[in-house]
Structure 1
Amino acid sequence: MRFALSEDQVLLQDSLAKALAELAPLERVRRFADDNEPCAGDIWAGLAELGLPGLLIDEAHGGLGLGLIEAALAAEALGRTVAPTPFLGSAVLAPLALKLAGSAEQQARWLPSLAAGEITAGVAIAEPIAGARDGAGVDAVAGRLTGRALFAVGAEGADLLVVADRTGGLHLAESAEATAPMRTIDATRRLTEISFKATPAEPLASNGALERLRDAAWVMLAADTVGAAGAMLGKAVGYAQERRQFGRVIGSFQAVKHLCAEMAAEIEPARALVWYAAYAFDHAPDEAPLMAAHAKAHTSEIGRFVARTATEVHGGIGITDLLGLHYWFKRIGLNRQLFGGPERVRETAARLQGLAA
């Protein structure tokens, strides 16, 4: 049995890496972060030419019909460049919600446009997954939504919203009473607070789809963290090979070698864990929730370790805006908390294994 990526998956990785090098260099990411753009439309349009918005959408609706392992590879590439895109909401969670719980009419209405990148979708499902805060939560009564949803991904300027109510039911909405950007440490990704006031919405089937969306979100965030951590390691190694102290490059010092080796030793097993969690989502559904929880919790911890250690290798310049290392550092930090911090995710894993009340 061959435990490795297929030729097509490797080609997907290479194609995305080349495209993102042109579409989302650090200068473009910095401009997005500094100018508070709601969406980097040029980057998403370029990725749409590669078919990225339709990655998980079946061919009958104009997509590529691939699986979560391919989506994880894409998320890792996006994390490596900290590219500002609506990928998580518009290309992963919204299509999955429609695939898992949408009617044939809803799928036919929305999936082709999502696959083509003609529209984008935002997803507001944080409260029933990670717990409500500040009185947030959405109620659904007679086809209308009322309440507030926090930490919505990809919702600013979106044409479609996938919303979870307090009970875990999913709904499609085309509008909201009001939206407001939420400031977080990560300037490369926009989160939104959405207010609903008797807003018309279409219900999706109640069949456990929210748990599947949770698992997919955890795997995507874990993959994004692995990509960002890998980029920080690469930058630390590159800096250690150039920076000189006492007439020698600092990479020749044993202490610096150990720091870089420790980062690599943490990242590589985590990548394998994420890949298996993505594989399990499609091919081993009984294992998928636990694997997704392990991937999210573990990468949250190793991501923080790599972010701190890579910054330490850089010394004082590591915390400057000029270098830009902080974009990866903060991306990892938000990934750690979004849709549940490691402590909450581990609690879910314990329940799944019958280890907690």
Structure 2
Amino acid sequence: MEFALSEDQRMLQDSISGFLKDNASLDTIRKIADGDAEAKAGLDAGLAEMGIMGLHVPEMMGGSGLGLLEACLVQEALGYTVAPSGFLAATVAADLLPNYQEDYPRGIADGEMVFGLALTELSSRRDGAGVTVDNGRLTGTSLLADVPDGATHVLLADTSGSFHVADSWSAEPMRTIDRTRTFQQLTFDGTMAETSTQPDASALAAARLLIAADTLGAAQAMLDKAVEYAKERKQFGRVIGSFQAVKHLCAEMAAKLEPARALVWHAAYAMDTKDPEALVMANLAKAHLAEVGTFVAKTATEVHGGMGFTDLLGLHYWFKRIGVNRQLFGSPEQVRQTAAELQGFVAA
């Protein structure tokens, strides 16, 4: 048996990576981070034309019908270029909603509906935050919501773990260290939910898995940048890549990252095949990539020396992306707690 990507999967990954290489350069990312709406809109339009928003929507509902493994390949490519996108929110919505309402997946596939995602309170909740539901009406606030520009709907979780779709809300920007993405604080004041679901652990697991893939891509980019810099930077008349200490740093990053890639791909495959351990694997992938990503971010910056802290190389965009991903949808400790509960390792 061959444990590798299929030819179609490799073509998908190459296609997305090629597009992002041409359209999500460091200069473009800088413009987006500085609030250039035109640069952001151009990137969004290009990604939409590629049809990735409907990638995980079933074929019978107008989408590509591809699995979470393919979605992780796309998210990995987005992370590699730290490109902002509504792809994660669209994929989680497409994963959950076909079981409840076909109109939403169809809307995602044809571009008429753009989904945001508000799941922060499932893993941690500040005092006074959280959304409650009473007779179908939503009240409360959700923090660090991932809501793309032009969003028409939001998939959110209430304090009981049930999910709801809303088409109206009040929003305030929430600034994080990651300027490549914009998060929001959403407020609901008796808003009628369009659709409501039962608690479903798979939606949060899918979101966490995609964040793990995003971190994988960002960490791989930092490793690649460190290796290239080590080949070019000279000190004492030699490239620093010839020094044993620098070689060890790069080798250690690669040794930690490669098994992490296998973990993400395996977890995605398990989710697609409904493996009994799928939710556990998805959560463990998120927790492990958070720590591996943090290690790679720190070590790659160390390889660059003082240059790693300057804006000239832009390394900080990847560093901060990994840092925010570490906490998004749950810290490593919180996510491992979920995995332990799923396995029955936590006493009642």
User: By the TM > 0.5 criterion, same fold?
Assistant: yes
Q: Which residue matches 2:249?
A: 259
Residue type matched to 1:94 in 2?
A
* Other-structure match for 1:122: 116
1:135 aligns with 2:135: no
CA contact (8 A) 2:142 2:186 kept: yes
1:37 Cα deviation after fit: 4.1
The alignment partner of 1:327 has SS state of: helix
Secondary structure (helix, strand or coil) at the match of 1:35 reads: coil
Letter aligned with residue 82 of structure 1: V
- Matched to 2:107, the amino acid is S
Q: Distance in 1 between matches of 2:112 and 2:39?
A: 14
Over aligned residue pairs, what C-alpha RMSD do you find? 1.5
Establish whether residue 214 from structure 1 lines up as the match of residue 208 from structure 2: no
The 1:351–1:112 alpha-carbon spacing in structure 2 relative to 1, beyond 3 Å, is closer
How much has 1:285 moved relative to structure 2?
3.5
What does the per-residue CA deviation read over 1:104-151, in whole Å, with 9 as the maximum and x for residues that have no partner?
xxx23x323311334311011211x21211310111112211110111
- 1:156–1:179: 8 Å Cα contact kept in structure 2? no
Q: Distance in 2 between matches of 1:340 and 1:37?
A: 30
- Give the match for residue 42 of structure 2: 42
1:344 maps to 334
Are 1:317 and 2:317 an aligned pair?
no
- Matched ranges for 1:136-175 at <5 A: 136-154=129-147, 157-175=150-168
Could you tell me which residue of structure 2 aligns to residue 190 of structure 1? 182
Question: Which residue pairs with 2:16 in the alignment?
Answer: 16
1:162 shift after superposition: 1.0
Q: Following the alignment from structure 1 to structure 2, what is the Cα–Cα distance between the partners of residues 349 and 199?
A: 33
1:56–1:68: 8 Å Cα contact kept in structure 2?
yes
* Alpha-carbon spacing, 1:156–1:130, altered in 2? closer, same or farther (3 Å): farther
Corresponding pairs, count: 347
Does the CA contact (< 8 Å) of 2:166 and 2:195 recur in 1? no
Distance in 2 separating the partners of 1:86 and 1:14? 20
Indicate whether 1:71 and 2:61 are aligned.
no
Q: Which range moves more in the overlay, 264-273 or 278-287?
A: 278-287
Give the secondary structure class of the aligned counterpart of 2:214: helix
Mapped partners of 2:309, 2:171: distance in 1: 33
For residues 16 and 44 of structure 1, the distance between their equivalents in structure 2, rounded to whole angstroms, comes to 13
Matched residues in 1 for 2:97 and 2:46: separation?
A: 24
Counterpart Cα distance in 2 of 1:19 and 1:268: 24
How far apart in 1 are the matches of 2:188 and 2:39? 22
Alpha-carbon contact 1:48-1:116 (below 8 Å) kept: no
Contact 1:40–1:85 (CA<8 Å) still a contact in 2?
Answer: no
Question: Mean alpha-carbon deviation: is it higher for 264-273 or for 113-122?
Answer: 113-122
Offset at residue 12 of structure 1 (A): 0.3
- Percent identity, aligned pairs only, is 56
> CA 1:149–1:156 in 2, change beyond 3 Å: closer, same or farther?
farther
Which secondary structure does the structure 2 equivalent of 1:172 belong to? Answer: strand
C-alpha distance in structure 2 between counterparts of 1:303 and 1:154, whole Å = 24
1:96-107 → structure 2 map (5 Å cutoff): 96-100=95-99, 102-103=100-101, 107=102
- C-alpha separation between the residues in 2 aligned to 1:283 and 1:312? 40
Check the 8 A contact 1:38/1:157 in 2, yes or no.
Answer: no
Gaps of 5+ in 1: none
In 2, distance between residues paired with 1:117 and 1:324? 32
In 2, the alpha carbon distance for the partners of 1:324 and 1:266 equals 23
Distance 2:21 2:147 in 1: 22
- Match of 1:311, SS state, is helix
Gaps of 5+ in 2: none
1:352 offset after TM fit, Å?
2.1
Please list the CA deviations of residues 251-299 of structure 1 after superposition, one character each: whole Å capped at 9, or x if unmatched: 0000000000000001000000000000111113311111011101110
TM-score when normalising by structure 1:
0.94
Per-residue CA distance 1:47-81 (angstroms, 9 max, x = gap): 12221000100122221000000000001000000
- 2:232 alignment partner, SS class: coil
Q: What secondary structure, in the 3-state scheme, does the structure 1 residue paired with 2:145 have? A: strand
8 Å CA contact retained: 1:29, 1:83: yes
Amino acid at match of 2:120: A
> 2:155 & 2:42 partners in 1: Cα distance?
24
> Do the aligned residues in 2 keep the contact of 1:154 with 1:191 (CA within 8 Å)?
yes
Name 1:3's counterpart in structure 2: 3
Q: Choose from 106, 109, 112 the match for 2:106.
A: 112
Residues 205-252 of structure 1 show CA distances to partners (whole Å, capped at 9, x for unaligned) of 32x43x111110111011111100000000000000000001000000
Q: Distance in 2 between matches of 1:184 and 1:299?
A: 20
TM-superposed deviation, 1:36: 6.2
- Distance in 2 (CA, whole Å) between partners of 1:38 and 1:138 is 33
Moved more, 11-20 or 154-163: 154-163
